[in-house]
Chains A and B, each alone.
Chain A
Amino acid sequence: MRHLAPACLLLALAACGGDFSNDDLEFLNALPQREDLSVTTPGERMGGGAGQRLVRQGKVGSPSTLMEKLGDASALVGNTDETGRDINESIGGILDSVESITRLTPTKREPNRRVWGPVLGKNDMEFDTRFVMTREGERFDYQTQYRRVGGGEDDWWSFLEGTFQADGGVRKGTGRLYIDWKRAREKQWLFSVDFLDGQEIRYQTQRLPTQVELEYFGPLPDIFPGRYMYREAEGDLAEMTFEMRGTDFVPGGLPENVALVTRWAPDGRGTALLEILSGDIVGAKYTECWDAQGRVTFISRSWDFLNPTEGVRASCPDMSALDR
């Protein structure tokens, strides 16, 4: 009985507090969400199975203009699908790492600053992890930081850095994330991924068309394509810009590197504009349209003087909203 009153008091105090915070919501709103940065691929628009079908048909990875015929399933749809999934996977991994810590309640709430963690991180508990956000007006900056266990305040180093310029709405604004792979290697936090020095995501969700760019930086820029861009315009029109390396797009002795701009409508119909950057016929352009089932309905080859087009150009969907 002697300890009843203090026990009740402690119990009552423990029942107080919470996380009811407007500032928390504004900080969280500054972090990109998966749906904001993810690519909706043409295969998904067709019902989710078209891209997989194209992969099974061997239509992905080595598009060849000689193989494309009217009525065939478009290999470019398959390439766009696969690239889109790669982008989603790459961005998703980054966002997973952010969400895993910001899902927790902030451990420090200060005016215009939030800190989550530190929590014991990866590599056999050798590193502490924390996530720090600061705010100045409508601009938010954030970092995922690591330090060796037992380190001091000055030992934190940033693996991920991001910014967001808010525009008032639900995750509306412009943002940027940078992953510093090189520094992670230097700090012995990471021992693999030596082909990458950095990875940057830039996005704007403030107005249509929205835009997400993914760019890789590394010591071997010619090995794999370094930049992807995805845009969405009014009417759910989507566009992806990316490069493909080492394809045998046209006959000849050289492999081609090509730049691709693919666009697709909500019903799955789409267009692709391909430009050969290097290889046998540098500068040549190839245009293709496909229907809601991904079948080619129109082909245009800039280098084919005898038979430059096949099919009906009018079958191509109107994608002009993406040009505004």
Chain B
Amino acid sequence: MSPPLLPSWRALAALLVLVASAAHADSLRRFALVAGNDEGGDETRPLRFAQDDARKMHGLLTRLGGVAPGDAKLLLNESSKDFLAALTSLEARAKESQARGERTALLVYYSGHAKDGTLRLGNSRLGFEDLKQRLSNAPADIRIAILDSCRSGALTRTKGARRAPSFEIESGAARDARGLVILTSSSADEDSQESDALSGSYFSHHLASGLLGDADRSGDGRVTLFEAYSHAYARTVADTAASSGGAQHPTFSYDLAGNGDLVLTDLRAGGDGLVVPGLAPAGTYYFVDPAGLVVAELDKRSDVERRVALAPGTYRVKRRLSDRLRIGEVEVARGRPVVLEEARLRDAPFSDDPVKGAAPEGGAWWTVGLSGGVQSFLDAPTRDTLFLSVGMLGAEAQLHDYFRRDWVWGVDVAVGGKQAVLALPTLSGPAYRYSVTSLGTTLTSEWPQGRVTPFVGARMAYQVMRRDFADEAYPDQKFAMFSPGVVAGLRWQLLRSLHLTGRGRLHYLLYTVDEQRSLGFWELSALVTYQP
């Protein structure tokens, strides 16, 4: 069972002192350092979604969080040295703002590994205490650290934050509206868990979903730090309670003085978003992007209008009933809110759930597909008289996210051929059939960008070329060789289980019959894959 989700009266009382003041918050000059690192160096297994979480948070803060794009830095898989350098840069700018009399806020978000009291940024480390000390001394009126990493609660433990169900807030003496707030995704002895179904960590997902509107309990169109945390806390604990890793308890600590809770996101900042009217049925709404991932959730109560600050785009909306789903599609336009009309939702069986199914253990999924393309050698005499340019048809199977997230291992077979007439200096005229058989294995790395996923990788192929002459006076000939190459392309998700890939390959082939010659050939092909 989930633990109680409400903060203690003590915490609530402390925050009531800091009554949220939107106007006050809006006068802040905000700076943000957002870092995500899948790698944690030795003794750690690579994370799968840390970079994605950082990207989401960066986008959210610059779109809704009042952070100008120029005041935000996004670091992906960078070292602690880069992290500190970026922090120094932002501190300097915050100091300049302060010198101009501006109030400033510095938000640091980190998603990645942490172990033994240090953040692990690849093979580099940054001690919790060092970071805390650094933030404590940072020249900003308000410093906020959000750490989504294992055992990150160690950062707050020294300040007295304890494992929920009721989190505690420590407050210094109330003098000025300045101080340090630290949110962590787990307590000092817990792992932070990722979810294949969410394509992110539980904590960051719920924090982001809350910042998009689900956490706006007051309904004022603004999500404060406290609202966001309490929402992320409750949902993270609830979602991880039944997981194999056990319930994960975020922590919160602050050392703030003065008045005002901090508004983290303004749901009306861009003018766009989705409005769920008060008359809409109560229940939990899920907003699913074209890749089948839930980008936001909304716990809707009866007769209460809610707003979700979705970025412009197309979303599928799902509401789960006891015996069926209600699903529909909504287009969020830029610059104006869109009202979700219940009439546009339809009944659907559970099998039509638009949410991409949770991947099997290890997060792996596989596809099968058919391809069509062209193979041609770079050297003109070679492609005219030896290895001809031909169309190829093939079949492939791909295993995604098995060895590592966004890595794809594939095996493929393709055949091609054409009728041709030999044209050599002393021999022209014999007709023959030229054919190519290609067996290959490919390892690629993908960078999902919504529906479109660019990828690059390496391929090893076993090429067999033949020519069979109609005239028996000429022997049928064959050449076989392993051929290393590189591949790059784009994969589009057309439908939930259907992908279209366009790709190019460049291969090296050592020809050894008449003489040793280094040859190169390219392939352009389209691939349609089905994800069972």
Interface size on A, residues (CB 8 A): 27
Q: Is the CB of B480 within 8 A of A17?
A: yes
Of the listed stretches B229-237, B511-519, B523-531, chain A binds B511-519
Q: For the complex, give the distance between the alpha carbons of A20 and B475 in Å.
A: 10
Q: Of residues 412 to 448 in B, which have CB atoms within 8 Å of A's CB atoms?
A: 422, 424-430
Of the listed stretches A28-36, A186-194, A223-231, chain B binds A28-36
Query: Is B358 interfacial (CB-CB < 8 Å)?
Result: no
Query: Is A306 interfacial (CB-CB < 8 Å)?
Result: no
Q: Determine which of A20, A103, A138 lies in contact with B425 in the assembled complex, contact meaning CB atoms within 8 Å.
A: A138
Contact residues of B: prevailing secondary structure: strand
Of the listed stretches A71-79, A155-163, A167-175, chain B binds A167-175
Q: Which B residue sits closest to A103, measured CB to CB?
A: B475
Q: Which residues of B contact A197 (CB under 8 A)?
A: none
Q: A1-39, CB under 8 A of B: which get 1 and which 0?
A: 000000000001001111111111110111001000000
Q: For the complex, give the distance between the alpha carbons of A283 and B524 in Å.
A: 77
Q: Is the CB of B513 within 8 A of A17?
A: yes
Q: Is the CB of A25 within 8 A of B422?
A: yes
Q: Which residues of B contact A25 (CB under 8 A)?
A: 422, 424, 427, 430, 474, 477
Q: Which residues of A contact B403 (CB under 8 A)?
A: none
Q: For the complex, give the distance between the alpha carbons of A29 and B424 in Å.
A: 11
Please give the distance in Å from A191's CB to the nearest CB on chain B.
34
Please give the distance in Å from A285's CB to the nearest CB on chain B.
41
Query: Is A111 interfacial (CB-CB < 8 Å)?
Result: yes
Query: Is A214 interfacial (CB-CB < 8 Å)?
Result: no
Q: Is the CB of B426 within 8 A of A30?
A: yes
Query: Is A289 interfacial (CB-CB < 8 Å)?
Result: no
Max chain B C-beta neighbours (<10 A), residue from A25, A29, A109: A25
Q: For the complex, give the distance between the alpha carbons of A15 and B437 in Å.
A: 14
Q: Is the CB of A17 within 8 A of B479?
A: yes
Q: Is the CB of B424 within 8 A of A22?
A: yes
Q: Contacts A19-B513, A20-B467 known; A166 to B477 CB distance under 8 Å?
A: no
Q: Is the CB of A23 within 8 A of B427?
A: no
Q: Which residues of B contact A111 (CB under 8 A)?
A: 515
Q: Determine which of A17, A26, A29, A30 lies in contact with B512 in the assembled complex, contact meaning CB atoms within 8 Å.
A: A17
Q: Is the CB of A33 within 8 A of B473?
A: yes
Q: Is the CB of A16 within 8 A of B425?
A: no
Please give the distance in Å from B463's CB to the nearest CB on chain A.
10
Q: Which residues of B contact A166 (CB under 8 A)?
A: 426-427
Q: Which residues of B contact A22 (CB under 8 A)?
A: 385-386, 424, 514
Q: Contacts A168-B428, A169-B429, A170-B429 known; A18 to B479 CB distance under 8 Å?
A: yes
Q: Is the CB of B462 within 8 A of A21?
A: no
Max chain B C-beta neighbours (<10 A), residue from A20, A22, A25, A109: A20
Q: B447-481, CB under 8 A of A: which get 1 and which 0?
A: 00000000000000010011100010111011111
Q: Is the CB of B480 within 8 A of A170?
A: no
Q: Which residues of B contact A12 (CB under 8 A)?
A: 482
CB<8 Å pairs between A and B, sample of 5: A22-B386, A25-B424, A109-B513, A168-B426, A170-B428
